Amino acid sequence: MIYLDNNATTRPCPGAIAAAHFAMEEAWQNPSSTHRPGQQTRAKIEMARRSIAELVGCLPREVLFTSSGTEAIHLAIRGVLGARPRTDPPPLVVSSPVEHSAVRELLPELEARGEARARWLKVDGAGRLSLDSLAEAIAEKPAIVSLQWANNETGVIQPIHEAARLCAAAGVVLHCDGVQWVGKEETRLSADGPAAPLLTLSPHKFHGLKGVGCLVIRPGVRLRPQMPGHQELGRRAGTENVPGILAAGAAADEARTWLSDPSFRAQQGVLRDRFENAIVAGCPGAVVNGAGAPRLWNTSNIGFPRLEAEAILLALSERGVCASAGAACASGSLDPSPVLRAMGIAPEVAHGSVRFSLSRQTTREEIDRAVEIAIRCVNSLRASTSAAIDPGS
Ligand code: PLP
């Protein structure tokens, strides 16, 4: 198997597996129990919290564990709205049309419940946010702005530092969805990082386990818990997912080690470019969605005009290459990705767009083999499609 679907999830790293194993064998007691083993389990959770804090450059007490990135996003947006007095009209929530569905589908739900009004910002052809449209929206004093740091489908990086400055100057809370950024790129909230009062991250995107997410809450943010109770300093109830949390801490430590040497990242970026250039050269008409904008080193979203992404994915999968069409949660649907639609990508390209996403574990041999397979799949699908359109040719 050549796994190029790392934006969907990553393979747990050895430290994460060992930590989860330890939690199941040794630290399985309830961390809220007052007896010694319970308190030892609590101490392990606090070590994991410190590891996450070190990964993003904040204080451990600012890190809150949830069940997923999605839950952290809901807590950020719903929590900020819930901490305000109810108003008529309801408060404004600003976001962009290229967000992950966790945000994109939450806002219409809040509108339907009369809890918020949504405003969607403009993006350009690469899916980069228009700062002018953000400045205009901020002038309307929204309750919260929610923007991703990097896009899950294209890897395009948003001007989050500028957005954070605009929000901070106007006293508007910014939630940054850092799920695809954190663990792949360096994050230093306390030093030169974006002044986002709320940051979401998800350890299964950097070789931790699924079933745990984090919300970083900087000082001064008022948040109403969505699950009241005593855990997580009263901000999120529910007995902790100890294996997931300990694995998250170990994954954060390994990610930090990897990130500390920029040459590792550069090396993987070279692999992504090698892959992308070879595919474009070998598949006439192929286009890279989001090219030209700054992008994560690991993501390549390639459109193969007049082909169906599902057919390409099946052909790749049969030959051992795992990729996906847009967001993993949209796989199986024939609707073109809303992200590509918001970028104004032509429907015949959007329908045939495939996301390949590397990890720090991807090797050059895998990339070269994947290139060979992908070119063969695309060109044979193309040949059969043109034969079907023009049986006489
Ligand atoms: N935000 C982005 C940008 C994502 O890519 C994802 C998952 O793909 C999420 C949020 C949701 O995270 P989780 O899978 O932990 O719920």
Q: Is residue 2 part of a domain?
A: no
In this predicted structure, the answer to whether residue 209 has a pLDDT above a threshold of 60 is yes
Same domain, residue pair 98 and 139: yes
Question: What is the spatial distance between Cα 393 and Cα 386, in angstroms, rounded to a whole number?
Answer: 8
Q: Is residue 1 part of a domain?
A: no
C-beta of residue 205 within 8 angstroms of C-beta of residue 10: yes
Mean pLDDT, all residues of the chain: 94
Domain C-terminal end among 259, 278, 303: 259
CB of 244 closer than 6 A to ligand 1?
A: no
Cα 70 to averaged position of ligand 1 atoms, centre (Å): 6
Same domain, residue pair 100 and 221: yes
The total of structural domains in the chain comes to: 2
Question: Is 329 annotated in the active site?
Answer: yes
Same domain, residue pair 68 and 192: yes
Mean pLDDT of 327-342: 71
Owning domain of residue 350: 262-389
User: H or E element: which one contains 146?
Assistant: strand 144-148
Instruction: Give the model's pLDDT for residue 194.
Output: 73
The CA-CA-CA angle for residues 129, 206, 338, to 5°, reads: 35
In this predicted structure, the answer to whether residue 329 has a pLDDT above a threshold of 50 is no
The CA-CA-CA angle for residues 129, 56, 91, to 5°, reads: 45
Instruction: Give the model's pLDDT for residue 393.
Output: 43
Q: Is residue 9 part of a domain?
A: no
Mean pLDDT of 236-247: 98
Same domain, residue pair 228 and 266: no
Residue 174: which CATH number?
A: 3.40.640.10
In this predicted structure, the answer to whether residue 130 has a pLDDT above a threshold of 60 is yes
Same domain, residue pair 278 and 245: no
CB of 296 closer than 6 A to ligand 1?
A: no
Instruction: Give the model's pLDDT for residue 326.
Output: 66
In this predicted structure, the answer to whether residue 77 has a pLDDT above a threshold of 70 is yes
Which residues are CB-neighbours of 87 under 8 A, at least 6 positions away?
none
Residue nearest to atom 14 of ligand 1 (CA): 69
Instruction: Give the model's pLDDT for residue 332.
Output: 52
Instruction: Give the model's pLDDT for residue 328.
Output: 46
CB of 249 closer than 6 A to ligand 1?
A: no
Q: What is the pLDDT of residues 91-118, one digit of tens each?
A: 999 999 999 999 999 999 999 999 999 9
In this predicted structure, the answer to whether residue 390 has a pLDDT above a threshold of 70 is no
Mean pLDDT of 345-370: 97
Size (the chain), residues: 393
Instruction: Give the model's pLDDT for residue 48.
Output: 98
Instruction: Give the model's pLDDT for residue 191.
Output: 73
Question: What is the spatial distance between Cα 59 and Cα 245, in angstroms, rounded to a whole number?
Answer: 17
Please tell me the pTM assigned to this model: 0.95
Q: Is residue 4 part of a domain?
A: no
Instruction: Give the model's pLDDT for residue 192.
Output: 72
Same domain, residue pair 224 and 304: no
